Amino acid sequence: MKILVLVHNGPDGKIAKAALEAVGAAQSLGGEISAVNPVGDVPLHSLDVPALATAIKSSGADIVIAPGTSRFARSLPAAAFRAGAEIDTHITAVSNGPEGVTAQRWAYRQRILCTITRSARPWVLMTDCGVFAPAEEGSFTVENAAPVQATASSECLGTQAAVAGEQTIRPDAEVLFVAGAGWTKKQADGATHPGEAAALIKDFLAASGASLGSSKSLVEIGDEAKEAFGFMSHMNQVGQTGATPRHKKGLSTCCHGEEPHVVGWRFITERRAVNIDANCGWAQGKADVLYVADAFKVMSLVNGMLKP
Amino acid sequence: MKPLNIIVCGSIVPDPLQTLEPVETPQGPALKNEQMLPAVLDPWAACALYEAAHLAASTPGSQVTLVSAGPAPKLRQLMMSVAQKAPFALVAVNAPAGGFADARATAAELAKAIKAIPGLDMSNVLLFGGCSSAARDAGVTMQFLAEELGISEFFQAVDELKFSEDGSFTVLERIEGGSYLKSSCKTLPAAIGWATGSLPEPPNNPRTGMMNMPKIMAALAKAQPAAPAAGGAKYLKTEIPSSKRDTRIVKDMPEEEIAREIVQWIRG
Ligand SMILES: Cc1cc2nc3c(=O)[nH]c(=O)nc-3n(C[C@H](O)[C@H](O)[C@H](O)COP(=O)(O)OP(=O)(O)OC[C@H]3O[C@@H](n4cnc5c(N)ncnc54)[C@H](O)[C@@H]3O)c2cc1C
């Protein structure tokens, strides 16, 4: 079996971590592996698609594995189409057994786990980031493919942060801290305290290094609270119409734990929640521990204890 | 600016509050009681529709067409509410829609339906859809469809699209680590897989619904049944791995002690 692994460099010019994971996935299948970087520095669909399609076609590979980075997620499906290959995305496991090569992926946003196979070749498998053990440096070499001529009506203008200030989305953090709309709701004193809530959250992120997630309701809040919560955006949203981050631990605060939110927690191993409502969603087998308490008080104490 | 011809692709998915269970059928995996499950417009495709309507409203003479592949009775049901959200014309394809339907076959059906729109000038099309469906969640259909239609400019997970007077535009695409990639594009045609965008769900407007409905009913009556999909993935197993945890519910613990437990857990 010939396996082609498609990789690209990260912004630092080195091979992206997710690409090392894709090589790791390929190595777990066995076979003859070649790793190729067919794309240049400019991440544009109209340039990447012909380069990727040429790499697939010219490799003669049976299986093509590539990391599900935003760059390949954009362009690889069209490249597979042009190369006459089949493609499946968000792959979370691969194996080579009696059924041949099989792969796992989720349907219905992490609700139903599917094990699939295909007889058509080449078969492109795009791996989810943060799932596979990365290949060891030195266990493979990357060949840079010759550039493929293509024209584009588009131009890449560079990157920009979704919100001003410090980056709160930290995929490599051990802890995910999720803030829900409860932070902006009327509290026991009959008033809202968005400024205090935002300060508590920001202090926790600074002291713990955690990544910040949010419920949909919090990123869609009204104007008054929006000002205080200007450090978060839709990009922080976890769930059905948000992200499915991978962190070892997740702490949910002031968030009800409704199903469309909790489907985004599928890959969070240890889960704890702080909510004043003992019957919230987290109590229904969705968290390991639910602390029935006021998150304002608890997080203020946590922040005090985390301070050096 | 020249009027825009915006084609939005979007279908139905089960209401996310429903419990889903896979079952085996002779045609492959399906959802238990699939026909009975309340459906909604696929959330990211819905964002695409609202962005399209907003863009069309601010560019006089523009037209929005929703192209939707799904079982006709379910589409009819869905249109009762979606038709009240924004002015659009519907092109319906009577085809299976769901997490196990083949994306390549879906894209081919959508392409066929789009190419059959009378008088459509492909060189001036702005193709919209969601960046990923809440059913298949593959994020590939829009790219396949763009290929079928010969559109080579595609942007994925877009939160912002801004046109200039000369018809060029800029987009912000979501990339890793909470950042955006900003690109510009000189001309149409182009395809956009929308993420959330920036618009709230419009309230139901019965007047818009009344204006849309006759055209929509006619489109539904005309909906062509799709050819059965050939090929696709072979499903060896579909399952719901148990995710129910044995929740320890901690009541009446002093906040000081809760905080200490949390800190210990974070550091441990
Ligand atoms: C199509 C669709 C897609 C969706 N996608 C998503 C998605 O991707 N992500 C998502 O999150 N949601 C999603 N939702 C919405 C989801 O169903 C819920 O409405 C949402 O998650 C609720 O957010 P919340 O828990 O923050 O707010 P609320 O439901 O308002 O809950 C607030 C919580 O805060 C608690 N609280 C208040 N004050 C305190 C305090 N002082 N201390 C502790 N607890 C306190 C309350 O007890 C309550 O449980 C989607 C819905 C639909 C229909």
pLDDT tens digits in sequence order for chain B, 268 residues long:
899 999 999 999 999 999 999 999 988 999 999 989 999 999 999 999 999 999 999 999 999 999 999 999 999 999 999 999 999 999 999 998 899 999 999 999 999 999 999 999 999 999 999 999 999 999 999 999 999 999 999 999 999 999 999 999 999 999 998 999 999 999 999 999 999 999 999 999 999 999 999 999 999 999 988 876 767 899 999 999 887 899 999 999 999 999 999 999 999 9
Within 8 A of B16 by CB-CB distance, chain A residues are 109, 240, 259-260, 263
Q: In angstroms, what separates the C-alpha of B198 from chain A's closest C-alpha?
A: 9
Cα maximum dimension of chain B: 70
Residues in contact with A37: Cβ distance below 8 Å, sequence separation at least 6, in sequence order: A6, A7, A8, A9, A15, A142, A143, A144, A145
Q: Does domain A2-144 have CATH number 3.20.20.140?
A: no
> Over pLDDT 90: what percentage of chain A?
93
B99 touches chain A (CB under 8 A): yes
Close Cβ partners of B77 (under 8 Å, ≥ 6 residues apart): B39
The average confidence (pLDDT) of chain A is 96
Which amino acid, one-letter code, is at A160? Answer: Q
Give pLDDT, residue B75: 95
| Structure confidence by residue, pLDDT tens digits, A101-145 | 999 999 999 999 999 999 999 999 999 999 999 999 899 999 999
Paired tokens of A106: 């989720």
**B124 CB near a chain A CB, below 8 Å?**
no
User: Which CA distances in Å does B73 have to B39, B43, B217?
Assistant: 11, 20, 11
- Condensed to tens digits (0 to 9), the pLDDT of residues A64-91 reads 999 999 999 999 999 999 999 999 999 9
B140 to A232, B36, B227: CA distances (angstroms): 28, 27, 20
Residue tagged 């189409």 (tokens): A81
Check residue A225 and give its pLDDT: 83
Backbone phi, then psi, for B266, in 5-degree steps?
-65, -40
pLDDT exceeds cutoff 80 at A224 = no
Q: Is A104 helix (H, G, I), strand (E, B) or coil?
A: strand
CB A171 within 8 A of CB B177: yes
Q: Interior CA angle at A30 toward A29 and A34, to 5°?
A: 100
Eight-class DSSP state of B98 = S
- Looking at the complex, does the CB of residue B203 fall below 8 Å from at least one CB of chain A? no
Task: Catalogue all structural domains in chain B, each as residue range(s) with its CATH number.
Answer: 5-225 (3.40.50.620)
- pLDDT-derived band of residue A154, with 50, 70 and 90 as boundaries? very high
Centre of ligand 1 to C-alpha A261, Å, is 7
Residue A221 has pLDDT above 90, yes or no: no
Average pLDDT over every residue of A27-48: 96
Give the nearest partner residue to A116 out of B159, B236, B261, using CB atoms.
B236
Separation CA A86–CA A67 (nearest Å): 16
**CB contact set of A71 (below 8 Å; sequence gap of 6+):** A8, A39, A43, A48, B175
Hey, where are the domains in chain A? 2-144, 175-306
A159-212 confidence digits (pLDDT tens): 999 998 889 999 999 999 999 999 999 999 999 999 999 999 999 999 999 999
Between A and B, how many CB-CB pairs are < 8 A? 256
Whether the CB of B240 is below 8 Å from some CB of chain A: the reply is: yes
Percent helix, strand, coil in chain B, to 5, is: 30, 30, 40
The CB-based long-range contact list for A89-94 (8 Å cut-off, 24+ gap) reads A89/A126, A89/B138, A89/B139, A89/B140, A90/A126, A90/A128, A90/B137, A90/B138, A90/B139, A91/A25, A91/A125, A91/A126, A91/A127, A91/A128, A92/A127, A92/A128, A92/A131, A93/A131, A94/A25, A94/A28, A94/A29, A94/A65, A94/A125, A94/A127
Would you call A291 and B250 a contact, using CB atoms and an 8 Å cutoff?
yes
Structure tokens at B5: 């011809």
- Is the CB of residue B250 less than 8 Å away from at least one CB of chain A? yes
Q: Do domains A2-144 and A175-306 have the same CATH topology?
A: yes
Are A228 and A221 in contact, with CB atoms under 8 Å apart? no
Q: Residue A57: is its pLDDT beyond 90?
A: yes
Specify the pLDDT at position A183: 98
Q: Do B178 and A236 touch (CB under 8 A)?
A: yes
Q: ipTM above 0.90?
A: yes
In the structure, which protein residues have their CB atom closer than 6 angstroms to any atom of ligand 1? A 180-182, 185, 187, 215-218, 237-242, 254-256, 258, 260-261, 274-277, 280, 294-296; B 16, 40, 43
3-state secondary structure of B176: helix
Cα separation, A290 vs A251, in Å, equals: 10
Fold for the domain defined by A175-306? Rossmann fold (3.40.50)
- Residue of A235, A241, A302 to test ligand 1 pocket, by largest number of atoms within 8 Å of CB: A241
Instruction: For residue B178, give the nearest of A43, A87, A235 by CB distance.
Output: A235
Chain A residues close to B153, C-beta within 8 Å: 45-46, 152-154
